[in-house]
Structure 1
Amino acid sequence: MPAPQHIVILGGGVIGLSAGIALLDRADGPRDAVTLIAAELPADGTHASGSAVAAAPAHYASAWAGAHHVSDAREQRTRSWDQTSLAVMAQLAERGSDKSGRGEGASGLFWTAQRELWRAPEDIEKLVGWYPDYKPLPSASLPAGIACGATFSTLSIVVPEYLPWLQARFLALGGRLIHAKVNSLSDALSLAASPTAPARGAPPPTTPPSALIVSPGLGARTLGGVRDQGVHPVRGQTLLVEAPWLEEARKGQKHCAEGLSVVRAEGWRDTYVIPRGEGRFIVGGTRLVNDDDAAPRAETTAEILKRVLPFVPELADPSRRTLLTTPSPSDVRVLATNVGLRPARQGGARVERMCSSAAGVPSNVPVLACYGFGGVGYQASWGAVFEARDLLDDALERPRLPQGSTLASLASRSAAPAARL
């Protein structure tokens, strides 16, 4: 049986935290020690410097995501990530909400109806035909300017609940958490090996780091040993909107809320409504490449609402309008404006073993990249980190888990019928 290892993860977003859980919640052999180092963490209220903050910074994109599971993957590898992630999230949702992280169920996941519209002709069966309850929309029912569409069921991800749950679950499984900013891969390994590093969770491992998984978000641009110049911000601005009457109108239906996305001819979404539960919705959005402005823009808020209202006029407060008036942005109850800088990468996400010989990392410590997911980190998370886990096993010259393995805690019961895979 392989000896337990000390694995270090750099990054505390959805990918880094999911990777930590994937390493700790596995069925075979002795459990590895896992140290996660992050400059930003969910629900902490502080930066790594110790200064108080009112909210997460925009570059900590995982805290600002919508989010829902709606795939637009066009390659088999990335589609497999999305399909695996939906199946795992479906099981986590089925087990029930548990914010403590000690149980098997996740907090912040619930099923919704989804209406997906494309402005250009598309093979929608290939893109989303694997979601449960998939049904193409008749062409006669499509709004003007829409070439095709479909409805299906999917999961909404309430980020203010789900991201802290990932952290709580990591700690409950025996992970070690260091809240600190590092400047290089070698700094991360040194900090993880230090028995005096301020940490939460498990005690310091007695063995030096055996491997490093790199998931630093936008930090991959400047991190010593990586300096990936293909990584860049994609500015997203969204609105938190209150519209409880939308849920009331769906009483008695299978799902309590419906989401919407409109896909541009270029292949990305800038018009969407994502249910958040309790009568609230995330409404978006923008996709501004290499725009790192973290300040909300009033003109962008107005533009978002002007795009969304023709598709979901019911977002407007019924008390602010009549049936004879066209809904306007001022009719919508906007509770907050959010800005996040998605960590995208030219060429797509990077999940592979890195060459670390020039990074000040010992030659016997493999380094794996798992970053650059842009706006699809949540929907790809579990599939991507399971692939990284397999690559880690290869690098450490130990057997991979059986094909299709996910989390050991979910293996005792079969998954909910989440998708037609």
Structure 2
Amino acid sequence: MFSKVLIANRGEIALRILRACKELGIQTVAVHSVADANAMHVRLADESVCIGPNPAKDSYLNIPSIMAACEITGADAVHPGYGFLSENARFAQILEEHKITFIGPSAHHIEIMGDKIAAKKTALELGIPCVPGSKGGVTTAADAEKVAGEIGYPVLIKAASGGGGRGMKVALNEGEISTAWSTARSEAKAAFGDDTVYIEKYLGKPRHIEVQVLGDGQGNAVHLGTRDCSLQRRHQKVWEEAVAPTVPMKEQDEIGEICAAAMRKLKYSGAGTVEFLYEDGNFYFIEMNTRLQVEHPVTERVTNMDIVYEQIRVAQGEKLSVKQSDISFYGHAIEVRINAEDPQTFAPSPGTISFYHPAGGVGVRIDSAVYQGYKIPPYYDSLIGKLIVHGRTRPECLQRLKRALGEFVVDGVKTTLPLFQRLIDEPEIISGDYDIHWLEKYLKANQP
């Protein structure tokens, strides 16, 4: 068992990891920027180290400062959470060179899946279905036109080293391909320092379905079912469900086993998420996230599994505690991300929380690190917390979510709570009949 884990993150995920460590009897180290000196995970950790000024590049992304914190405190493992350095292969490699365990996959697997072209090639080799597209990077406008013509319009041009919708452009016809290709390259270069882009077939009304996997690096791997993350704004998820509604369970079981088998072949270690677009009964691989996901709690609720606990166990060299036959699914779970944002314009709303009353009751879980009097800094993402509800059926879950949203109070800053209070009554939400474009269209049609 690790003696001391340094948590290289902040906010609700840092607190989530800290709680898991405490339940395992592991000492914890919180690192923080100047702005986060009074954060909840800092207050509750056994030790804390300030690693730099407010900007993330000078603190949470500052590898030398984090390594120094490991040295000072004697931490023998680091949990990166999500975001920041969680998918940084160089960071994982540096930790390994210093005999400190990275609680996550190998640097090699992070590197493979971090490059979307390499990830797609690997997925095809492992038998995971992929979206038709270019075999590699598309380096000229002429090549872009040729590939798009072969695939058939519309097409999607994507940054090879990207995420979050940056470096991503749609070309509906031949007249748009050249501009879309050059714009995607420029955005990719500015955002990621790499202008490599590739082309895929653009699907008209897909759902975003992902499969949670766990591996122990010893050839054992399982899947924990699916999540539907189709409700998105600017390619950012806002609402997630497990298991995926409207997808037949037979299809879910089949794609889950394909993903688990692929992880066994890779000898993948830790938690990971294989993400797909789903349309007309077909799954198309888009990427793999080699880390814990923001939306992992909905999977925990329907499987009664503690994903962070398993991450820590396998990082210590232990085998998975479960086989696929041990995993069952119980009811339905929904998570909504409550952000400190204007619910109409989505402009950030940092400031001091003057009153805080989270929802409670049967089937309700809150993952949050804020408290009354907490000052939300303007330097990081705007996530206040996650409201997760569970029910025996999806209708029961929706009704429980409606009740919980009515109880949740956050004063002093604007939040996205009113958005979810509106969405919960929409017929398409109630029926589950939505795709990845639905929320953008809804917001555009309901602008004040």
TM-score, structure 1 as length reference = 0.27
Greater RCO (CA < 8 Å, at least 6 residues apart): 1
TM-score, structure 2 as length reference = 0.26
